[in-house]
Amino acid sequence: MVVAVPMAVWGPLVCLASALGHYLASLGILRLLAGQHPALAAADLQFAANWAVSMLQAAAVTALGLLACWHTGADTAAADLPLMLPCGWWNLGYWLYDLLALFLLANQGREGGLAGRVGVFVRWWPGIVAHHLGVIAFMALGVLSPTRAGQGDGLIAMGLLTEASSVPVAARGLLARLGMKDRRVYLYTSIAMVATFLAARVVLVPGVVVLYSLQRGLSPAQGFLSIPLQCRLGTAAFYALNLHWFFLMVRGCLRLARGGKLD
């Protein structure tokens, strides 16, 4: 006799397995990089390993988004995609792992209480802290919440494609930590980062809202207002942060065009 295991049990287990799996992957990559780049500082190697894990995660999520969109035929109103919940729990595990990993990296060599270390983390990179907390909240409330009841799976599937831009972002961070800023591959990766960020974050997000509205016979404003409140708030915050980051990317490109240094 097969006994059904409730989601309240297997979901957190998948999340925990994901966090542990990504941590073990980072250790394996760290060992590999240490053997290939023995002259690099330990901190640079640890950051590089974390960027490598992020790159692999982003590539996997993008592939999942493409598969889900192929399965639904780009139907944004599709519901109850079979892999959405387990993949959501797995993805949540990654974001929890990465938040903790970055917290530890930001506090390397520092002492003090938890409150002080959290303050150091927030001041170190406030944008990434806000991004991670926002994604974790969206995953918990917008994807894994039982109140969603399968609604919006088509929209979430297309939203996974935004992670395509994270692949060159992470690759660029990896190359920088490996001391390859003066290599041509770093320049090409930076160009790919800006291009994919524009396509997958700045253009795709409102494009999905417009497509969803057209498929339901609504105006873009009506379509946006018809999705669950937590999804609206998460999308708006996500888009505002992405616009800020894209502005920083463009500013860096303009500085490079004027003969400055690419950060």
| Residue 180 backbone class (left: φ over 0; alpha: ψ -120 to 50; beta: rest) | alpha
Question: Mean pLDDT, 10 residues at a time, over the chain (263 residues)?
Answer: 58 95 98 96 96 97 94 83 88 97 93 91 91 88 73 84 96 96 90 94 94 92 85 85 90 72 57
Q: At what angle do helices 126-138 and 84-106 cross, to 10 degrees?
A: 160
> Do 262 and 190 form a contact (C-beta atoms < 8 A)?
yes
Taking alpha carbons only, the member of 167, 220, 223 closest to residue 195 is 167
Q: Exposed/middle/buried for 159, CB within 10 Å: 0-12, 13-18, 19+?
A: buried
| Separation CA 158–CA 92 (nearest Å) | 17
- DSSP secondary structure code for residue 144 in this structure: S
pLDDT score at 104: 95
pLDDT score at 8: 67
SS3 label, residue 200: helix
- DSSP secondary structure code for residue 2 in this structure: P
Residues 6+ apart with CB under 8 A from 250: 194
pLDDT score at 2: 39
pLDDT score at 3: 42
Q: Tell me the torsion sign for CA atoms 70, 7, 131, 61.
A: negative
Cα 206 to Cα 9, 134, 148, 203, distances in angstroms: 36, 18, 22, 6
The total number of residues written for the chain in this structure: 263
pLDDT score at 81: 82
pLDDT score at 219: 94
Q: Tell me the torsion sign for CA atoms 147, 150, 154, 157.
A: positive
pLDDT score at 139: 87
pTM for the model:
0.89
| Separation CA 10–CA 12 (nearest Å) | 6
pLDDT score at 261: 58
Helix (H) or strand (E) holding 47: helix 42-72
pLDDT score at 231: 76
